[in-house]
Structure 1
Amino acid sequence: AAPGGSRWPWGSSPRCPLQDAEIVRTRDPQLLAACDVVVDVGGEYDPGRHRYDHHQRSFTESMRSLRPDKPWSTKLSSAGLVYCHFGSQILAGLLGQPEDGPVVTALYDKLYENFVEEVDAMDNGIAPAAGEPRYALSTTLSARVGHLNPRWNDPDQDTEAGFRRAMELAGSEFLQRLDFYHRAWLPARALVEEAVRHRFEVDASGQVLELSQGGCPWKEHLFQLERELALPKPLQLVLFPDRGGQWRVQSVPTAPHSFQSRLPLPEAWRGLRDEALSELAGIPGCIFVHASGFIGGNQTREGALEMARRALELGGGTEST
């Protein structure tokens, strides 16, 4: 960060050297030596001097190695290094919350796991899973930033305009994600926790959760609450109303981001709709069951609850994939 470039777009903190910084792009050693903060170039990682490159052979740091209280072991890129050292300060400035308070702590972890870690992995060439990918991921943030570079055959090879657009793109997406997690995801925890505590009022099995509002981001909260409360039985199915006043019954996945279900809806129901489904299931008001069995719908709460109870009785057939 030095005079003569784009303006640093993030929040401010009395301890953050990035605030009010001008951003320049250079590999000139003399210019780098004059910078207060150097990111992604320079060949050194020295937080005491605010040097944050990750390309050198000796660099092996992850979030977990730098902050042992964190679980993530993905090798950091310079994006992750900046977030590791300044993320809490930046979030505190943007949210007007204490840096060491519960809101900033929760959102710091959430944004690393669901935004920054992907950037780290992509920049370091780390695949999301072992083996050959089944399809191409071509619309990630990293890919969209890459598409802002000049094309090989463009007469104008100036990268500055694309860099400014990339800053706006990444910055706006980060702020949008932060706003969602702060205003929607974080408040949803209280709703999910209340539903967990009242689950036996929904069904005697204690394995059916009822959410009072549809669209509530419940999965990660549920997994965390299951661990914190040491529930004797895992939740299997979740009921919630949709925006049209009908009801859904959804299987709890085996992990927050998994496509596999703990207890998919019965195999015989999958892919059926309306009267054909209601007749086969023996439950009035059925609307649909997804072909994978992960979700179904009914016109009423009672019908959706009966679908959940029947799924528990039948065992749900084979797991969906």
Structure 2
Amino acid sequence: MSSEQPAKKQKMSPQLIGTHNDTFHCDEALAVYLLRRTDRYAGADLKRTRDSAVLATCDIVVDVGGVYDESKQLFDHHQRGFTEVFGHGFNTKLSSAGLVYKHFGQEIIANTLQINLGDTKVNTLWLKLYKEFIEAIDAIDNGISQYPADQQARYRSRTDISSRVGHLNPAWNESVDSTSVDALFLKASDLVGGEFFGRLGYYANAWLPARDLVAAALKKRTEVASSGKIVLFDQFAPWKEHLFELEPEFGITADNQPIYVIYPDETGGNWRVQAVPVSSESFESRKALPEAWRGVRDSELSKLSGIDGCIFVHASGFIGGNSTKAGALKMATTALTL
């Protein structure tokens, strides 16, 4: 008999999902949630970072990295030239949620329902869920307006509070008594009531202070640029809704309305220059950042623009970044002339 001890089985390390840090969005939040419902990434750990060296250690990366390559498990959608859509009659540009759903959605549905992947119900539900839930997230994250010029909706959204309350009602073919329905009504009441008072607290404690900051910045905008077309915030605050409401109050006309807004990012380390949209809910800008800058990053962008410290300009031109306030201001003033 051999005196050697049997080899111990090595414990497999969990898979690692990578996505960006800082402000999170609906698309990657859903993408990560969905991945953890797949066979391959069930129980996976999560790393939120923009460090490319760290991301390279991840088994799958979503919503960051500038690459879409399913074979390498890279699922970003922000890079210049990305045009991937779901297909099957859907033409909305995908976000990280749509990318993950496109590749893993059928497996997730089959696993959840405990049915065979080839069951026709899987494909039917896969398409239905994209239409009713995922497509709106893709469109919103990519800045696609729901209603084009002809006013015919491009996609459907059924995740608003009214829809969520409606979904609490018994299904048409579900047999329930009035006591059960009353209990569901109370659940719905708690849902919408809780959101109402949550919004009230937000408006009182966050929305009004932000309005004061926007008002002060609008009053001082000619100190930033004599044209009044650049607004500077020394701290991050939500500004769009307030700007559009305050412009008429301040007598701001189309001739001297703000074009760009400059503010520190939420980490306080870098600065953003953002194009003012044509309305508070629009994805179209009054004047987007120059087309030649869009989708270009870092030193390449600095060389192209002639401005030091450039970090990025979004592929749609609605926002850019610089490492300094002076650099962000230079990007805005230069963009006004192009």
* TMscore range, shorter length: 0.5 to 0.7
Q: Matches of residues 112-261 of structure 1 in structure 2 within 5 Å?
A: 131-156=151-176, 158-214=180-236, 216-231=237-252, 233-244=256-267, 245-261=269-285
- Aligned pairs for 1:92-131 (under 5 A) are 131=151
Deviation at 1:131, TM superposition (A): 3.5
Distance 2:337 2:285 in 1: 16
Give the TM-score of the pair, scaled to structure 1.
0.55
Deviation string, structure 1 residues 122-175 (Cα, Å, up to 9, x no partner): xxxxx9886331111110111111111122343435322211111011001111
Letter in 2 for 1:197: K
Matches within 5 A, 1:283-294: 283-294=307-318
Task: Tell me the amino acid that sits aligned with residue 224 of structure 2.
Answer: V
User: Aligned residues: percent identity?
Assistant: 53
Separation in 2 of the partners of 1:204 and 1:128? Answer: 36
Q: Deviations over 1:59-111 (max 9, x none)?
A: xxxxxxxxxxxxxxxxxxxxxxxxxxxxxxxxxxxxxxxxxxxxxxxxxxxxx
1:199-250 Cα shifts (integer Å, max 9, x gaps): 1221232210001211x12122222322122135111100000122210001
**Matches of 1:160 and 1:307 in 2, distance apart?**
58
Q: What's the counterpart of residue 134 of structure 2?
A: none
* SS class of match (1:152): coil
Map of 1:271 onto structure 2 = 295
**Contact 2:168-2:184 within 8 A present in 1 as well:** yes
Change (3 A) 1:159 1:219: same
Bigger CA drift: 273-282 or 259-268? 273-282
Where in structure 1 are there 5+ consecutive unaligned residues?
Answer: 1-126, 315-321
Aligned pair count?
A: 187
Residue of structure 2 in register with 1:48 after alignment: none
**Alignment partners' CA distance in 2, 1:155 and 1:235:** 58
> Is the contact between residue 214 and residue 242 of structure 2 (CA under 8 Å) also seen in structure 1?
yes
TM-score by length of 2: 0.52
User: Equivalents in 2 of 1:280, 1:185: separation in Å?
Assistant: 38
Cα distance in 2, alignment partners of residues 196 and 142 from structure 1:
36
Q: Distance in 1 between matches of 2:304 and 2:252?
A: 34
Counterpart CA distance in 1 for 2:284 and 2:295 is 17
1:278 & 1:128 partners in 2: Cα distance? 36
| Backbone CA RMSD of aligned residues | 1.9
Give secondary structure in 2 for the equivalent of 1:159.
Answer: helix
Superposition deviation, residue 261 in structure 1: 0.8
CA distance in 2, matches of 1:302, 1:256: 27
* Distance of 2:300 and 2:204 partners within structure 1: 43
Question: Letter of the aligned partner of 2:262 in structure 1?
Answer: L
Q: Which amino acid aligns with 2:211?
A: R
Mapped pair 1:311 → 2:311? no
- For the Cα contact (< 8 Å) 2:147–2:154, is it kept in 1? no
| CA–CA distance in structure 1, aligned partners of residues 215 and 175 of structure 2 | 58
Shift of 1:176: 1.3
